[in-house]
Amino acid sequence: VDPVENHQKWTKDIEDIQGSPVTYPLIGDPTLAVSKLYDMLPNSAGETADGRTAADNQTVRNVYIIGPDKRVKLSIAYPMSTGRNLDEVLRVLDSLQLTSAVRVSTPVQWEPGQDVIIAGSVSNEEARKLYPEGWEEPKPYLRIVPQPVRDGVRGKTAKRAINGPTDGVSSGTVPFTF
């Protein structure tokens, strides 16, 4: 909920401790508008981040992925005592991007480049056209295929995009295409 300038002060500490610089955009919420909008803080929380403590802000330890349609696609709430898992956040972002683009689902523990499941909304007739090489079908509702090639690359990941601004990306945003 702090201003970006306050977050930037932490980046040096993170680099010192973790050995890597923070290269992703930082977002601040000094007026608490976003925190209240997504029910991370109650409307009675005040109008500014000034004077708030970590205990006051503990419910703001949520991670959200919001799609281009302005809908929440993921929310993870972390307790104060637990660090966030960026690998998991990126894995979910990879899955959301892939499943939106090619009408598949990703199974438990999926990682980019691994097999995927043909979406249940795809009929067998349509699946034969999309996957003429066939699929493994341990159950009628579970049709497994290799991850389709997307954008000319198998297993393209959001990890490339998260490493800082790229073409068409302004400061304060993360590339996110559905």
pLDDT in tens, 17-50: 989 998 888 888 999 998 888 888 888 888 888 8
Residue pLDDT, tens place only, 69-102: 888 899 998 888 888 888 999 999 999 999 999 9
Residue 163's CB is within 10 A of a number of other CB atoms, namely 10
In this structure, the chain runs to a length of 178
**Which range, of 55-69, 72-86, 147-161, averages the lowest pLDDT?**
147-161
pLDDT on residue 111? 95
On whether the CB atoms of residues 59 and 41 are closer than 8 A, the answer is yes
The owner of tokens 């330890």 is: 61
Q: Between these two residues, 57 and 116, which has the higher pLDDT value?
A: 116
93 burial level (CB within 10 Å; 0-12, 13-18, 19+): buried
pLDDT on residue 42? 84
Alpha-carbon gap, residue 8 to 29, rounded angstroms: 13
pLDDT on residue 134? 96
Q: Between these two residues, 132 and 6, which has the higher pLDDT value?
A: 132
pLDDT on residue 150? 63
Based on C-alpha coordinates, what's the Rg of the chain?
A: 20
pLDDT bucket at 121, cuts 50 / 70 / 90: very high
pTM of the model: 0.69
Phi first, then psi, for residue 92 (nearest 5°) are: -65, -40
- Sequence-ordered strand ranges (E) for 78-175: 104-105, 116-118, 136-139, 142-145
Mean pLDDT of 113-119: 96
104 burial level (CB within 10 Å; 0-12, 13-18, 19+): buried
pLDDT on residue 1? 82
pLDDT bucket at 55, cuts 50 / 70 / 90: confident
pLDDT on residue 175? 42
